[in-house]
Structure 1
Amino acid sequence: MKFGKLPDISDVDFSLPADAPGNAQRLSALPANGAAPQLYIGCTGWSMKEWVGSVYPKGTKAKDYLKAYSLQFNTIELNTTHYRIPDAQTIDKWYRESTADFRFCPKVPQTISHSKSLGLGTDLIPTFCTAIAGLKEKLGCCFLQPPPYFGADRLPQLEQFLQAFPAEIQLAVEVRHESWFEDVRSLEQLLNTLHRLQRSVVITDVAGRRDVLHMGVTNATAMVRFVGNGLHPTDYARAADWVGRLKQWAQQGVKEIYFFPHEPDNLLAPEMAAHFYETAAEGIPAIQTRGPELSEPGDPKGEQMSLF
């Protein structure tokens, strides 16, 4: 993930800001269902041959990467759907080769997110939604990532898109243009629109764009994209801060959390995921989650995991 990356992070203030102003009111409207909060932790892809022997068992073949991945992680930021809508055979293969508790979080195709119309008035939205509906109960929260030039003046069009997107499919929105964050009114208009339409918002924690770390919550599902810096000590401090904030939100009614660690070239993302899992399992009462158990080269554990 290149967005917001910096070559030098020595002057960055990585502390988490206060919650968005309207969070308390939006969270107070959440229904109390008594269910334990669920935490999903995952990476941005499973096709990493470098993970064989540490994340995946020694000798794992490429055709079995998804099986091995879903045994270690319980979700994925599915970026492949940004570039093409998968066919029914692919969807069925993903469904069959993943564990029962796994959740796919597909990225809305760029033919929708990067079009002037956001796909409105075309068959792109129903085609995409019909395809991913084949994931059935393994379909998690989709996310829409418009281009960086998609500004706050397009909120009315975004609202039209949200109304056209099937209500039964979870959706989160990530915005990046500076106009959304230049004043609190623009951000709160976005957050309140998402809240009214029961959609989520993506929070991105990245060194070079601290404004997108808006700390808004709009419904019972929170999605965090955590961009690390090669397991720099600040990555671990930030992870601890996130556990504290997510604990607070869980106590206020958030029931589902998606946390996606990004590290350079995706190589170290499993290490951060494992660390975050251990920290969250200890720090958030009653949280339901699981995370990766990694092995060092030569560790017998790297050879013992069964792929179903």
Structure 2
Amino acid sequence: MWTHAPWQGRFLPRSLPPRERLRSYATWCNAVEGNTTFYATPARSTVESWAQQTDPDFRFVVKLPKPITHERRLGGVDEELRAFLEAVEPLGPRAHALWVQLPGSFGPNDLGALAGFLRGLPRTHAYAVEVRHRAFFEDARAERLLERVLAGAGAEWVPFDTTVLFRSPPTSDAERDAWTKKPRVPRRSSALTDRPIVRYLGRDDTERTVEGWRPWVDTVVAWLREGRSPTVFVHTPDNAEALPLARRFHDEVRARVPEVEPLADPVPAEPPTLF
């Protein structure tokens, strides 16, 4: 996301080479979703550059590659998994969680594969699983079975909250595109571990996005007061304002839990001028 074109020149300096943009992004937010790893396992040198551009307490939630989760559906993936784990090793403590995003067709009958896969993972990482099959949200038995599998491995369940997006018809091209691609599932706000992760998708209208995240502010405040350390990712269909929105969410939470560390001051997108 730190190379997102609409941010260049607005929030991030336009003149930065791609390998320096993460450093600038990290002054806006203290966590990032590693979506690019879904499409290809990165070179170790690339991951080393990510580590060099961020502080040790910066959080990467890194998605497992598509061949592992979608093509092989977690079976017979030892070689691919080994290559991925070796590639992300330079992140060290920055690897907040390895993210297992499963396809919408991965349902309750597949939980045996998930349980076996999670059992075989090294304990050197934390893991978070995102499911999209509606049965896990609408069938109490399927929900309990999934929670049991995740709890047995100490893994978190990542909710992807799209309820605000689907609350009313789309009003922009980006929203119409999101309607065809994003999962339409109920909101879930229960944490299984001390490091819950939330993915929230709002609208391209800022105020509708802010209004829609009110329940998450309440939830995150409660988690913090319980001693948990949540990570929240704020999206909109076009993501044009995602950076200031993420900071606004953080400010709303911090207003209620003042002991939360403030975010750093962002690096200016353009150098200051005398006139």
Sort the TM-score into its range (normalised by shorter chain).
0.7 to 0.9
Deviation per CA, 1:26-63: give whole Å up to 9, x if none: xxxxxxxxxxxxxxxxxxx1112322333113643434
5+ residue gaps, structure 2 = 167-182
Aligned partner of residue 53 in structure 1, secondary structure: coil
Alignment equivalent of 2:260, drawn from 287, 290, 297: 287
Q: Deviations along 1:177-200, whole A, 9 cap, x unmatched? A: 112122212112211321222111
Kept in 2, the 8 Å contact 1:201–1:217? The answer is yes
SS state of the match for residue 160, structure 2? strand
Distance 2:187 2:125 in 1: 25
Task: Check conservation: 2:196, 2:230, Cα contact below 8 A.
Answer: yes
Q: Write the letter of the residue equivalent to 1:262.
A: H
CA distance in 1, matches of 2:106, 2:79: 22
Whether the 8 Å CA contact 2:62–2:99 is kept in 1: the answer is yes
Match of 1:23 in 2: none
CA distance in 2, matches of 1:269, 1:73: 10
Shift of 1:210: 6.0
Match of 1:219 among 193, 196, 201: 193
Q: How many residue pairs get matched? A: 254
Cα 1:232–1:92 change in 2 (3 A) is closer
Instruction: Find the counterpart in structure 2 of residue 276 from structure 1.
Output: 249
Partners of 1:66 and 1:94 within 8 A in 2: yes
Cα distance in structure 1, aligned partners of 2:237 and 2:265: 19
Of the three residues 206, 221, 227, the one matched with 2:162 is: 206
Deviation at 1:100, TM superposition (A): 3.7
Q: Secondary structure at the match of 2:270?
A: helix
1:259 matched to which residue of 2? Answer: 232
Structure 1 residue 173 and structure 2 residue 129: aligned?
yes
Alpha-carbon contact 2:28-2:243 (below 8 Å) kept:
no
Q: Which residue of 2 aligns with 1:234?
A: 208
Residue type of the partner of 1:272? L
Paired amino acid for 1:150 = F
| CA positional deviation for 1:176 | 0.5
**C-alpha offsets along residues 210-259 of structure 1, whole Å, 9 cap, x if unaligned?**
634222211111110010101343311233321111111222342x2111
State the 1:289 CA deviation. 5.0
| TM-score normalised according to structure 1 size | 0.76
Q: Is the 8 A contact 1:191 1:216 kept in 2?
A: no
Per-residue deviation, 1:159: 0.5
Q: CA deviation at 1:205?
A: 1.1
Report SS of the residue matched to 1:181: helix
Structure 1 residues without counterparts, runs of 5 or longer? 1-44, 295-300
Please name the residue that 1:65 is paired with. 21
Asked if 2 retains the 8 angstrom alpha-carbon contact of 1:173 and 1:200, the reply is: yes
- Between the aligned residues of both structures, percent identity stands at 27
